[in-house]
Amino acid sequence: MPKTITIKSENFISNLPISWQQQLSQAVSDPDQLLDILNIKPDQFPLFSEANQQFSLKVPHAYINKIQKSNARDPLLLQIMTQSQEMLPSENFHTDPVGDLNANKTPGLLHKYNGRVLLITTGACAVHCRYCFRRHFPYQQQQAGREQWSQAINYIQHDKSIKEVILSGGDPLVLSDKKLDDLVTQLENIPHITRLRIHSRLPVVLPDRITDKLVNTLSSSRFNVCLVIHANHANEITDNEVNALDKLKQAGIHLLNQAVLLKDINHHIDDQVNLSETLFNAGVLPYYLHLLDPVQGAAHFDVKLNDALCLMTQMQNKLPGFLVPRLVREIAGETSKTPANEL
């Protein structure tokens, strides 16, 4: 059953139960509307309209409800609100910061690392994160829509070294249950594939997306399935998210977290300790903490390497080893993620 959610706008307030698809369709895309909902004056975010033209705002009400009202520095708000800093030129920040395009083998299929490939299943997301490393990605040419799946499937079939398929995007969980089920079924027909990994923000942004049908598709698969959620702050994980994650955990789905280290959002030791503790209490293992990918428009989120390494030392002093994520950077052309202490 879909949950009851409060949807507020200029014209109405509704407490009706609505599906995750309806919640997604009612996501806020107007920065003025978002600031009005949160009781924040527009002058707190100068020139946000110009930044919105380059990379538009998108955020569902389920996520907005977790943002503290009247707080222009809320760590969840800063992840999704358009800001003037996005328009500033930044040296060594690029439109393809991790070399996705050079790794493209067929439309929507990236083969960077030994033994695994990544499918760009859709260009759509439930939320537009301002630090997104694919904010400039040419999705119209590169996403593996259903008509391109056959090319990707054929590539995977002919390379028996591939053991794992990673579903990415955009966000693969924006796809309907039926489309995901169809794709998983096609992949299951390839004998040498043993693992399925899904990277998604939806368990954090729109927890009602974790439907019984989705859970059944993943749990009934012959694959060893891993879902990597992308949570950056403990405030993103409330009872709603915990309940959704518990459905996946009870079904035997491995749950990992991949966060991005973001200035003014989670670069303090208390932020990281709280995130790791909250994740583990929700059944999720902190796996990666990524240094910011140098994508144009996101330089204001960057945390310097030395500061990041000092933060990791603090985390190691405060947390058990299994709650300390690996601090890494993805470097274009490298055969794996690079540990930060090797940079």
Q: What does the H/E/C string look like for 238-252? A: CHHHHHHHHHHHHCC
pLDDT tens, residue order, the chain (343 aa): 455 555 554 434 445 568 999 999 999 999 999 999 999 999 998 776 677 878 889 999 999 999 999 999 999 999 999 988 888 888 888 877 776 777 788 888 999 999 999 999 998 999 999 998 777 666 666 655 566 678 899 999 999 999 999 999 899 999 999 999 999 999 999 999 999 999 999 999 999 999 999 999 999 999 999 999 999 999 999 999 999 999 999 999 999 999 999 999 999 999 999 999 999 999 999 999 999 988 888 999 999 999 999 999 999 999 999 999 999 998 988 888 999 999 8
Residue reference for tokens 């520095």? 73
For residue 163, give the 3-state DSSP assignment: coil
How do beta strands 195-200 and 224-229 pair? Answer: parallel
pLDDT tens-digit map of 108-156:
899 999 999 999 999 899 999 999 877 766 666 665 556 667 889 999 9
- Topology of the domain comprising 101-342: TIM Barrel (3.20.20)
Q: Report the DSSP beta bridge partners of residue 8.
A: 13
- Please name the residue ranges forming H helices in 189-299: 202-205, 212-219, 239-250, 269-281
The annotation status of 226 as a binding-site residue, yes or no, is no
Can you say how many angstroms the Cα of residue 177 is from the centroid of all Cα atoms in its chain? 19
Type of residue at 18: I
For residue 10, give the 3-state DSSP assignment: coil
Residues 54, 298: Cα–Cα separation, whole Å: 12
Mean pLDDT of the chain: 90
How do beta strands 109-113 and 116-120 pair? Answer: antiparallel
Residues 120, 171: Cα–Cα separation, whole Å: 8
Structural domain spans, the chain:
7-87, 101-342
pTM of this prediction exceeds 0.85: yes
Residues 100, 104: Cα–Cα separation, whole Å: 7
Query: Could you tell me which of 92, 87, 80, 28 has the C-alpha nearest to residue 54?
Result: 87
Structure tokens at 99: 């070399």
How do beta strands 326-329 and 338-339 pair? Answer: antiparallel
For residue 152, give the 3-state DSSP assignment: helix
pLDDT tens-digit map of 264-315:
999 999 999 999 999 999 999 999 999 998 888 899 999 999 999 999 999 9
Residue 263's Cβ-side half-sphere holds a number of Cα atoms within 13 Å equal to 12
Residues 249, 243: Cα–Cα separation, whole Å: 10
Q: What angle do CA 227, 231, 234 make, to 5 degrees?
A: 130
Residues 326, 306: Cα–Cα separation, whole Å: 15
Composition of the chain by helix, strand, coil, percent to 5: 40, 15, 45
